[in-house]
Structure 1
């Protein structure tokens, strides 16, 4: 792991901070900052989100459980990982990930471990996306997606996963990166 040293860039000083928008799914904060070189930026905008979780779920026979759903921002249907927002009342990240997997796919159980933690954009986003690897998941019931979700569940083999990734079938970068990382853990 890389270590910090005296040559690392220094943090910016926040001179003033105010919220421009505060909505359940969008909070925009505007900071007035001073850079280490003395320059002032009067309107540096930050997106504040709660943390997110994703799951790379693997069945006992080695298939990866993906979902497909419509995303209005891109106006397209994509493959994704089961994922969701960490609620302020959630006990811990793994429990949140287990809940999302069960809700979106009906799968659960298995052996769980942390796979990776990423940022959508550390320059403008306050939150992190935490991905868990869940090996040996099995169907436990029917999916129970939220009212705003229309989800289709697909369990794919590794060759099909590689094709999906290579063709751009996983558009969400915070979902594609953990899938590539999973393939790296297999030595591929």
Structure 2
């Protein structure tokens, strides 16, 4: 989180909280909150999610390991980073390593945090952790969930920028770490 400045607005006080729906992929809470200026909001809705992860995996041959899968919300298939959710008993890094192996069959390499983002700080309670894995190798076959249909693609690093600029990587939480990486590497 960013550092607090002296003139920042103060956090809201939660007066009441009620769950309206609780399912694995859809948990909605309604809060009654009091703002620092004394006003109240009777119905403020928050979506609760587990922590999310994604991985920018780079092979020893300097290619990015990307996936493509159908996303029903938009009704399209686009390039994405391997990604998923943290299980209750695992750290974001452990989840990232597990998801990379399950979705792509790639593993190993040197791992480091790349960035942490909030998917939507106004309405969601979770964070998305992005990791960089350099020097990964294909070590197994995919182990997909029954509802996953994923294809794996090795993309030369020089093509990553174009994929974003051409709208081929449309997922914002995936585009941001790719762009950060490209900026750090000075890859045009």
TM-score range, shorter chain: over 0.9
Aligned length: 187
TM-score w.r.t. structure 1 length? Answer: 0.96
Over residues 142-174 of structure 1, what are the superposed CA-to-partner deviations in whole Å (9 max), with x where a residue is unaligned?
111111110010110122211111111111111
Question: In the TM superposition, what are the counterparts of 1:104-123 in structure 2 within 5 Å?
Answer: 104-123=103-122
Q: Tell me the secondary structure at the aligned position of residue 136 of structure 1.
A: strand
Task: Summarize the Cα distance change of 1:2–1:82 in structure 2 as closer, same or farther, 3 Å threshold.
Answer: closer
Q: Name the residue aligned to 1:139.
A: 138
- The ranges of structure 1 where at least 4 consecutive aligned residues each deviate by more than 3 angstroms after the TM superposition are none
From the superposition, tell whether residues 93 and 2 of structure 1 become closer, same or farther in structure 2 (CA, over 3 Å).
closer
What is the root-mean-square deviation in Å for CA atoms of aligned residues? Answer: 1.2
Instruction: Tell me which residue corresponds to 2:4.
Output: 4
Query: Cα distance, 1:187 vs. partner?
Result: 2.2
* CA apart distance, 1:89: 2.2
1:54 and 2:90 aligned: no
Q: Is there any run of 5+ residues in structure 1 with no aligned partner, and where? A: none
Q: Deviations over 1:95-115 (max 9, x none)?
A: 111110000000000000000
CA deviation vs aligned residue, 1:38-81 (integer Å, no higher than 9, x gap):
11111000000000110000001111000000001111001100
SS class of match (2:178): helix
Instruction: Indicate the residue corresponding to 2:153 in structure 1.
Output: 154
**Normalised by the size of structure 2, how large is the TM-score?**
0.96
